[in-house]
Amino acid sequence: MPYYVVQPWGRDRYRQATVQSIHDTVDDAYARMDAIAEKLQRDGAPADFLELYVVDAERQSVARPGAQ
């Protein structure tokens, strides 16, 4: 099942969103999202500069593995 890192632009954050990247595993999707966040932080962007989510093929939010 593919997992997507998406950037929302509408009221439905998961369906009205631009796909930033596609991954085979949820771990890879979160690793990509973390890499983007780290780069933004290094470049001096505020923590709330970019809103990203990991969703599945049905555009349902997927929790980070190990998070409750």
Helix or strand holding residue 3 (H, E): strand 3-8
Most distant CA pair in the chain, distance: 35
pLDDT at 68: 67
The per-residue pLDDT for 13 is 92
3-state secondary structure of 61: strand
What predicted TM-score, i.e. pTM, was given to this entire model? Answer: 0.88
Return the amino acid letter for 28: D
Q: How far apart are CA 2 and CA 11, in angstroms?
A: 23
> Tokens 């009205």, residue?
16
Q: Tens of pLDDT along 32-63?
A: 999 999 999 999 999 888 999 999 999 999 99
- pLDDT tens string 3-33: 999 999 999 999 999 999 999 999 999 999 9
